[in-house]
Structure 1
């Protein structure tokens, strides 16, 4: 889930709600906190091994992972300095499985941020292509900041020229799925319209379900084939994004 500030999500009851999910692995994006600011409970939930990656810039970006099982290895950098300095990647490895919390840049605040997004996408595609050949299974969870198809946002006609639904961004995801061979696990399991994960805080977007699906679990085909029961949780609102989960019958 994109927390839009992990401390803000905590005040809204996120950590009170979390144990009831019985989640094995939890992926968080946009923590907006330096590691020294989130020591102890509730930010390190009991029963979980937790990893935080913060940005050099205080109060910005950042990702986290919580796992009931102790990971064999933790990776927090991908070798792209701009992204690594913004705390956009955390990976836990369990046997031959990697679970990633990923936060792609948003370009909605201006051309300079869209340029950063393009640089990230240019780096990340060959990086992912190489990982697809390593024999591991991957589940990459996070805020990808791209709605893939018209079904994935309410006002698709008026957003064709806006960051998050640009033709080039959507084509990048096409390549990820059609050429590299990764799977949009939620869409494989649920083709219904109006299944959104983000709503603007402006107007009545939440109340009217005027949203975008920009949060994904993107996986390699092997583990994706074991997935079932996707669910977007909208009964509580911990941020402008909704938590969502998918069950996998997979033992690494």
Structure 2
């Protein structure tokens, strides 16, 4: 037997900033059983988790060594069997980019992919990270056939995923090499859950530049936040969507509703 759970992925662009903008109120509604956060920009001891815990969430964090930079976290109402911090690559782990939780035979990964927008050096690291990450995932799939990969991938895959594909053809996040990596990734046994449910739906974005204040109102955005699942979980997908009305960041949450084994539901913390 199984029931369904809702999993969210949300780049909060600084969790302390997002909390000042009402993130705790949204979390208090218990939008999903699992919420994966990226770009927390905080050390665990600097995060007020009281509202999360009151809503029934256990909190797990993996922060960058550099304060105020990068970092990921997972809020979960289902207690994991195991928690894995990082992916074993020194620079990636120093930047706090990967956090993994195991629930029975399902592995949940929360990842914050590097951005290349600050210059050529970071763009080259982005390519290095993507290559390392692909090989890492290939090995991981052999150990865990059922994987859910949430995160800010920092890449808009297809022209349908960006408001101005021609104008951004030379922009980091939509470069041919990055898009080719996404082609390879999805061809290797991963399902883009949003596109699986909405194959032709255009103008659906998860990030809007803060450099131009009106672009969010005009919906001139990019879809760079994804929840992907491996092929063995394809039949478990119930729904996937994007929630642009939730606004605590320059990103918005994306979610997946998935059939999930009932036995894991017994480990939710008591409120």
Do the two structures share a fold, i.e. TM-score over 0.5? yes
Q: Structure 1, residues 4-38: CA drift from partner, whole Å, max 9, x if none? A: 00011111111111232441111000000012211
For the aligned residue pairs, the C-alpha RMSD in angstroms reads 1.4
Question: Normalising to structure 2: TM-score of the pair?
Answer: 0.89
**Structure 2, gaps ≥5 residues long:** 1-9, 265-271
Q: CA deviation at 1:158?
A: 1.2
For structure 1, which segment, 70-79 or 42-51, has the greater mean C-alpha deviation from structure 2 after superposition?
42-51
Equivalent position of 1:182 in the other structure: 190
Aligned to 2:34: 25
Q: 2:82 aligns with which of 73, 84, 87?
A: 73
- How many matched pairs? 251
Tell whether the 8 Å contact from 2:62 to 2:86 is kept in structure 1 after alignment.
no
User: 13-22 or 133-142, which moves further after superposition?
Assistant: 13-22
Confirm or deny that 1:41 pairs with 2:50: yes
Given that residues 10 and 42 in structure 1 are in contact (C-alpha distance below 8 angstroms), is that contact kept between their aligned partners in structure 2? no
Higher relative contact order (CA 8 A, sep 6+): 2
Q: Flag as ranges the 4+ runs of structure 1 deviating above 6 A.
A: none
Structure 1 residue runs without a partner (length 5+): none
Classify the secondary structure of the residue corresponding to 1:133.
Answer: helix
Superposed, which structure 2 residues align to 1:92-241 within 5 Å?
A: 92-178=101-187, 180-191=188-199, 192-203=201-212, 204-241=214-251
- How far apart are 1:45 and its partner, in Å? 5.1
Partners in 2 of 1:169 and 1:40 — Cα distance? 35
Tell me the distance in 2 between the aligned counterparts of 1:248 and 1:164.
Answer: 28
Q: Over residues 178-217 of structure 1, what are the superposed CA-to-partner deviations in whole Å (9 max), with x where a residue is unaligned?
A: 1x21111111111200110000112211010000000000
Q: CA deviation at 1:224?
A: 2.7
Q: Distance in 1 between matches of 2:49 and 2:223?
A: 32
